[in-house]
Amino acid sequence: MQLTVDNPMNAKSDKPFSRTNPFQAKVLKNINLNGPGSSKETRHIELSLKESGLSYVPGDALGVVPANDPELVGTLMKEMEWDGESSVTVGKQGEAMTLKDALTNYCEITLLNKKILQQAAAFTDNEELQKLVSAENAAQLKEYCDGRDLLDMLREFGPWKASAQEIVSLLRKMPPRLYSIASSLTANPDEVHLTIGAVRYTSYGRDRKGVCSVLCAERLQEGDTLPVFVQPNKHFHLPESDKDVIMVGPGTGIAPFISFIQERAVTNAAGRTWLFFGDQHAASDFLYQSELEKFQQDGVLTKLDTAFSRDSDQKVYVQHKMLEHSKELYEWIENGTYFYVCGDKEHMAKDVNEALITIIEKEGAMAREDAEAYLKDLQKQGRYQRDVY
């Protein structure tokens, strides 16, 4: 099964593969890393880069060009009584394709924005929508968009006077999704691995699915292909092999650190490595447990500290483990360690930053201001790197 528009030029293309010319990578493996009883689904996906000419280094990300859920596309076409085989044009160049193809592979149909609703108001007499897009209701309009999608809008504000083409013209191009690469190319020639957490939630009474993560979790089989490109990340890289590294990567934040550790194993790096990992339950959510324990036995992973947040009465997070090891952590930093954080931007990365300041303040006997300046300086030296989303 090909998930997007066929790309017969894959093997023959003389143009390098890139964001605008993605490589159709064959799926070699796709497994759930979470065990029974987990509230999460995290997929470990292995893709072949054979004959792509693509290469990457630890810290880089892979861009994935997703396709929308065929069930959602089917519902849209059925409820709007649209003919999927009819022809529409998309984009600035006016590329022609079938409506079904446009809704599946080109248009973003899972998110709304103010502009879509404002323009859609021209295609309906629905008074509620006219009210919502009026200048004095800007805040309500923004609130309406959060957690709703195209299907909600079309259901709520009909009857519609628009053709399928007119609705398609309101939609923006679906952006590719980025994933931290979870493999070392040196350790896995011609392969790239990803760690993808399935995004599922309920909003306004409907179950919603993250476009790309749920495609990977529910519809991507071994042998299928996925359109991908490499997104280099100059600001998140391993230092020279003799330097120590501390890595903080709860949940899917573990991904680039698997790449880091694999690289250090295969290159016999002399520097020490210390990983802080956290997730909900040790029994079901210890991602890459056996691989990490093996790295520890082999001495590639010098220290491993885990924080399972829901195995005790009180929440235990990675920053609590950092604070527990405050003295040693500060010694590593004073010794020239490179400090890395990957994963949730909203809460975790901020709390880890705060814990770092606390540690520097306490162990360096500094005022808070000085501890903050110390951390800023680390950042300037490239010794505090973050890849958060």
Ligand X SMILES: Cc1cc2nc3c(=O)[nH]c(=O)nc-3n(C[C@H](O)[C@H](O)[C@H](O)COP(=O)(O)OP(=O)(O)OC[C@H]3O[C@@H](n4cnc5c(N)ncnc54)[C@H](O)[C@@H]3O)c2cc1C
Q: Which residues bind ligand X (CB under 6 A)?
A: 61, 66, 110, 147, 177-180, 195-197, 199, 201, 203, 210-214, 252, 255, 387, 389
Strands (E), the chain: 23-32, 42-48, 61-64, 87-90, 95-98, 177-180, 191-197, 200-203, 206-209, 225-231, 245-248, 273-279, 303-308, 338-343, 384-388
- Check residue 282 for interaction with ligand NAP (CB under 6 A): no
DSSP string, 259-294: HHHHHHHHTT--S-EEEEEEES-HHHH-TTHHHHHH
Return the residue nearest ligand X (CB atom): 210
Smallest distance from ligand NAP to CB 363, Å: 21
176 binds ligand NAP (CB under 6 A): no
Structure token pair of residue 43: 């997929």
Residue 85's identity, in one-letter code, is E
Virtual torsion, Cα 363, 367, 368, 373, nearest 10 deg: -90
CA–CA dist 199, 202 (Å, integer) = 10
Is residue 1 a contact partner of residue 27, using CB atoms and an 8 Å limit?
A: no
CB nearer to ligand NAP: give 52 or 319. Answer: 319
Interaction partner, residue 255 (ligand NAP, ligand X, none; CB < 5-8 Å by kind): ligand X
305 part of the interface to ligand NAP, by CB under 6 A: no
Interface with ligand NAP (CB under 6 A), residue from 199, 266, 282, 323 = 199
| CB-CB contact of 252 with 281 (8 Å) | no
By CB under 6 A, name the one of 262, 280, 337, 385 that touches ligand NAP.
280
Region 22-61 residues binding ligand NAP, contact defined as CB under 6 A = 40
Q: Among ligand NAP, ligand X, none, what binds residue 134 when CB lies within 5 to 8 Å by partner kind? A: none
CA 47 to chain centre: 16
196 contact choice in ligand NAP, ligand X, none (CB below 5 to 8 Å, kind-dependent): ligand X
By the criterion CB under 6 A, which residues form the site for ligand NAP?
Answer: 40, 197, 199, 250-252, 278-280, 309-310, 315, 317-319, 343-344, 346-348, 351, 389
